[in-house]
Amino acid sequence: METTFILSQIIFYFVASVAIIAIGIFFSIAMYYFVHIIKGLQAIIHDFHDLTDGARERISDIIERLARLPILSFLLKQTNYKKTKKHEKK
């Protein structure tokens, strides 16, 4: 009877140890891929930021070109509201 109890404890400890080691290996592999995914997302975000800067510059260039046209210059004229308010007070 004691031998069966000792054998069952040994098997339990062995299985528990293997399970803990397997979970640790799985967690390490998952973290490795997670880090690579995060690095990829950082590269995508950086590229997207560069694209938005380029798009912002192109849009402002288009607005400047359209503002030069006589018909649209009235609608797209940029005014400085602070200067306008100062002139009204005088």
Contact 88, 79 (CB under 8 A): no
Query: Domain span at residue 15?
Result: 2-89
Q: How many domains does one find in the chain?
A: 1
The DSSP secondary structure of the chain, one letter per residue, reads -HHHHHHHHHHHHHHHHHHHHHHHHHHHHHHHHHHHHHHHHHHHHHHHHHHHHHHHHHHHHHHHHHHHSHHHHHHH----HHHHHHHHH-
Q: Kindly state the greatest CA–CA separation across the chain.
A: 106
Per-residue pLDDT tens digits for 35-87: 999 999 999 988 888 888 888 888 888 878 877 777 766 666 655 455 555 55
pLDDT in tens, 2-42: 888 899 999 999 999 999 999 999 999 999 999 999 999 99
